[in-house]
Amino acid sequence: MILISACLAGVNCKYSGGNNEVPELKKLWEEGKAVLVCPEVMGGLSTPRIPCEIRNGRVYNTEGEDKTENYVRGAEKALKICLENNCRIAVLKANSPSCGPDEIYDGTFTHTKIKGSGIFAAMLKEKGIPCISEKDDLQILNDYL
């Protein structure tokens, strides 16, 4: 089973209220080969919501509110779903403070990216679950089907 960030399968859970649909990923979910999670919504944040970024290991929105607890709670719930479904790989939204597997925004809200992982991506990696983003070569998923 594959875990996919819900926004990548067309679910309107993105911070702006929209989604980041990738038809190939939506198809995997529709075929029952994937499960969807949105750690931010699962952590109690609304859709739409104020944009957040990670700064010094904490998650803040553009108004300076610390939303780390929401992100951790949602990541823990999403991790539980991942493990219960024996997901062997995760396709996560690039640059997200929850899901970014390799790069995230630097917390200055200036669109500056740095190496690092979102809260959920880091939890998955700690459990040994490989994480890629929608920007990576999705053909690798064939190895997990």
Supply the pLDDT for residue 125: 98
**Where in the sequence is the domain holding 43, given as residue range(s)?**
2-144
Give the separation between CA 101 and CA 108, rounded to whole angstroms: 19
Q: Which residues of 15-40 are buried (b: 16+ CB within 10 A; e: fewer)?
A: beeebbebeebbebbeeeebbbbbbb
**Which tens digit of pLDDT belongs to each residue from 104-136?**
999 999 999 999 999 999 999 999 999 999 999
pTM score, whole prediction: 0.97
Q: What would the mean pLDDT of 78-100 be, rounded to a whole number?
A: 98
pLDDT at residue 23, rounded to an integer: 98
* Side chain identity at residue 116, one-letter code: G
Listed in sequence order, the DSSP H helices in the chain are 23-30, 39-42, 68-84, 119-126
**Backbone torsions φ then ψ of 81, nearest 5 degrees:** -65, -40
Confidence of residue 73 (pLDDT cuts 50, 70, 90): very high
For position 97, what pLDDT does the model report? 98
- Residue 2 banded pLDDT, cuts 50, 70, 90: very high
How many structural domains does the chain have? 1
CA angle 28, 32, 33 (to 5 degrees): 55
Q: In the prediction, which pLDDT does 140 show?
A: 96
pLDDT at 93: 98
pLDDT digits (tens, 9 = 90+) for 13-67: 999 999 999 999 999 999 999 999 999 999 999 999 999 999 999 999 999 999 9
Instruction: Give residue 28's pLDDT.
Output: 98
